[in-house]
Structure 1
């Protein structure tokens, strides 16, 4: 079926390999890509701990605009790090320019949140875009997560040919796209 792709997973693997090589040769300075991921002076957690961990699309949502069908469509954002991260002002967008802005949501360490397309009451693990139409194209799309400064944090694609740029994540079940390592 579809494949979900993450730019940050490849960056993490490359950074780990570079850091390992650096430790072996005894170099003192971190490479720029690793330094970009380090904590800033305010103590904010590194951006690479936040990833798009899964997505579920439904072809029926394009034709069935019921709220139940729209809420079966979601993108999951996970905090793989050891610290909570304030997502206030972060955005999740698709290729067509639909954008959702996180408001007053703190993602605790090792937790995830699903951002559903339809209407609902926001909870710790479920947020709602409050849309009346489908956002995520089941055939091909890219979910892009940016921090409150507009910097790319992660992106995940399905139905595209991203050969040399990303690692690949598989899918499980009809229209659901999840991380697989």
Structure 2
């Protein structure tokens, strides 16, 4: 009986150790593409002003702020890796502009000299730090439209 109790106690301790090591599963951040202005208003001149009116926006619908460092916004022709930027919770929005500028908490700049998003249709992909696809935004050309909600 003593041997059986000793074996059961050892087994209970081993199971307890395993259970305390495993923590709760981490939920994926509530990030998604919000909208994009894929066609700059007016003539496409490739001026910095024109490039910066082409943008894509992320929204955080969760309650907690999320640090985006290492996340990527990907197009088939280019990839933007986000630096040390935190997007606020409860509707926080961050815009990624195509042209040059000084990054702020809400506005990031790709520093490209050419447009990224195709006016005839395209797909943007949001990838986690680990490289997993987290969200996509796909659009087709709409007559008279230059901006879409994702």
TM-score category of the 2 structures, normalised to the smaller one? 0.7 to 0.9
- The structure with the greater share of residues assigned to strand is 2
Partner residue of 1:100 out of 57, 75, 80: 80
2:149 maps to what in 1?
178
Q: Is 1:67–2:38 an aligned residue pair?
A: no
Q: What stretches of structure 2 of length at least 5 have no aligned partner?
A: 1-21
1:164 maps to what in 2?
none
Q: What is the RMSD of the two structures over their aligned residues, measured on CA atoms? A: 2.5
Partner residue of 1:128 out of 109, 112, 115: 109
2:57 maps to what in 1?
76
The 5-angstrom pairing of residues 8-157 of structure 1 reads: 41=23, 46-47=28-29, 49-58=30-39, 63-96=44-77, 98-109=78-89, 110-157=91-138
- How far apart in 2 are the matches of 1:125 and 1:41? 33
Deviation at 1:125, TM superposition (A): 1.1
What SS does structure 1 have at the residue aligned with 2:50?
helix
State how many pairs are aligned: 127
- How far apart in 2 are the matches of 1:78 and 1:43? 23
What SS does structure 2 have at the residue aligned with 1:119?
coil
- Provide the TM-score with structure 2 as the length reference: 0.76
Rg bigger for which structure? 2
What SS does structure 2 have at the residue aligned with 1:177?
strand
Deviation at 1:45, TM superposition (A): 5.1
What SS does structure 2 have at the residue aligned with 1:68?
helix
- How far apart in 2 are the matches of 1:136 and 1:61? 15
Mark the CA change 1:118 to 1:43 in structure 2 (over 3 Å): closer, same or farther.
farther
Higher RCO, 1 vs 2 (CA within 8 Å, ≥6 residues apart): 1
User: Retained in 2: the 8 A contact 1:92–1:143?
Assistant: yes
Q: What stretches of structure 1 of length at least 5 have no aligned partner?
A: 1-39, 161-170
